[in-house]
Structure 1
Amino acid sequence: MPRQARDKSKTGIYHVMLRGINKQKIFHDDGDREKFINILKRNKRESQIKVYGWCLMENHIHLLLGEGKEDISISMKRIGVGFVWYYNGKYKRTGHLFQDRYRSEKVETDEYLLTVIRYIHQNPVKAGLVKDSKDWPWSSCGVYYGECDCQVDFADREMILGMFSEDESIAVSRFKEYNEQVNEDACLDEENKRMTDEEAKHEIMKIVVGRGLDKVQDLPKKDRKEIIRAVKRIKGVSQRQAARILGVSDNLLFKV
């Protein structure tokens, strides 16, 4: 049965995700991530795609791309094939690396464009890998904040920053404030199916076993942080749900 054609974005902008087959790692070290960035850079030059944002996680990749001189599917095939060729050679393996085709969604409004870039930047925070988005070195967040000169020429950040102000310093400040807002953004991720409060409570109880939920906020800071980080890694439990069930503020849970 032929694959269904993807809907074309009126703006030419897409949020794209590549995931490792069976959720396996696709990045084992910084060298792997650097290679992917270099492949993306090369294809940016060749196909003239716009790279508005990125985040390289352990077993998946988020990209915010603008279509260049060719269909986005051609660009993504070239990027994917290039990295698989490198990966299979380095790790002496054969076969597929990515799960099916890349997944994508159209980005056709300014509002959703901002939602997607924030979602991409907050991926490592919501996964409990870092406290602040800018602390994850393998995303475009540091570039937007003006704290990473190495990729400034690579990232097409002008359009998004321009939505906040024509003055770059003001735009960066306002973007940073927006980018760090507590939210329930859920973009393109099939694992973002939300649990009911009862289901979430059941999963959280497995982590706080031996302690009552109402006691979490009174625990020593170190113990409380460990519990919150573990809870944030539960797929399908939103941050507001977790905060409500644990009896802590949204802001505390978001910042841990």
Structure 2
Amino acid sequence: MKLEVLEKEGFYHIYNRGINGCLIFENDENKKFFLKQFSKYLLGKISIFGYCLMDNHFHLIIRLNDEEKIVTQAFSNFFNSYVKAFNKEIDRTGSLFEKHFKRIKLKDEEYLKQLILYVHLNPKHHLDLKFEEYKYSSYQAFVSNKETKIEREEVLRLFGGLQNFVFCHNQKNDILTEKHTFE
């Protein structure tokens, strides 16, 4: 599979999962450390439009603020730092993630909106958890007034405001719930 080339100012869905479906997060501390390292290595080089960390995979929605080589190296450093710490903590060796992180360039604003909904609803889809309460997604950062590193204002503008942002999430959640009920 040929990897999408990252371009400055481009929007991307970045995701990966554990090799052979293994866990990449064994506990909340792992998820907190992942987010801390993500900020350490990538903040400023990218803007964050959404994320969700599940036990065996993650999703990031970003825009590049820097050149491809700089951002790619920052991702490499970030993933290496996380894997080394994770492996040391649980006394394992070797690769944790599938070969390369996947990236899909987002073509338009509608795709971006749908992806934000998809990423935030991952806890519902995979674990049947309430997405609004899930701690390791960016959803709560959008609906709170707390300081955040997420591009809150830009995303809420994209959805036409906070009320519509919440409405769209609830509507998509209802569709998922209804679909799950009839399966």
Tell me the TM-score range normalised by the shorter chain: 0.7 to 0.9
Distance of 1:26 and 1:8 partners within structure 2: 24
SS of 2:93's partner is coil
| Residues 8 and 64, structure 2, Cα contact 8 Å, conserved in 1 | no
SS of 1:175's partner is helix
Match in the other structure for 2:172: 182
Match in the other structure for 1:210: none
Give yes or no for the alignment of 1:154 onto 2:149. Answer: yes
Distance of 2:139 and 2:23 partners within structure 1: 22
Distance of 2:172 and 2:157 partners within structure 1: 22
| Residues 13 and 59, structure 2, Cα contact 8 Å, conserved in 1 | yes
Give yes or no for the alignment of 1:18 onto 2:16. Answer: yes
| Residues 8 and 67, structure 2, Cα contact 8 Å, conserved in 1 | no
TM-aligned CA deviation for residue 153 of structure 1: 2.4
TM-aligned CA deviation for residue 178 of structure 1: 0.8
**Aligned pair in 2 of structure 1 residues 242, 176: CA closer, same or farther (>3 Å)?**
closer
Give yes or no for the alignment of 1:84 onto 2:83. Answer: yes
For structure 2, the residue ranges without an aligned partner over 5 or more in a row are none
**Aligned pair in 2 of structure 1 residues 89, 10: CA closer, same or farther (>3 Å)?**
closer
Give CA-to-partner distance per residue, 1:9-63, whole Å, 9 cap, x none: 6851100112001101111111101100101111233x52111111000000000
Equivalent in 139, 142, 148 of residue 141 of structure 1: 139
TM-aligned CA deviation for residue 183 of structure 1: 6.7
TM-aligned CA deviation for residue 129 of structure 1: 3.7
* Residue type at the aligned position of 1:55: C
| Residues 51 and 155, structure 1, Cα contact 8 Å, conserved in 2 | yes
How many residue pairs were aligned?
A: 181
Match in the other structure for 1:50: 47
Match in the other structure for 1:75: 74
TM-score, normalising length from structure 1?
0.64
SS of 1:182's partner is helix
Match in the other structure for 1:36: 34
* Residue type at the aligned position of 2:50: G
For structure 1, the residue ranges without an aligned partner over 5 or more in a row are 166-170, 186-237, 246-256
* Structure exhibiting the larger radius of gyration computed from Cα positions: 1
Give CA-to-partner distance per residue, 1:62-110, whole Å, 9 cap, x none: 0001112231433322221121111112122221000111111111211
Identity across matched positions, percent: 26
Distance of 2:10 and 2:117 partners within structure 1: 19
CA RMSD between the two structures: 2.4
* Residue type at the aligned position of 1:14: Y
**Aligned pair in 2 of structure 1 residues 103, 5: CA closer, same or farther (>3 Å)?**
closer
SS of 1:54's partner is strand
Distance of 1:144 and 1:122 partners within structure 2: 14
Stretches of 4+ aligned residues off by more than 4 angstroms: 7-11, 238-242
**Aligned pair in 2 of structure 1 residues 242, 173: CA closer, same or farther (>3 Å)?**
closer
Match in the other structure for 1:172: 162
Distance of 2:39 and 2:8 partners within structure 1: 24
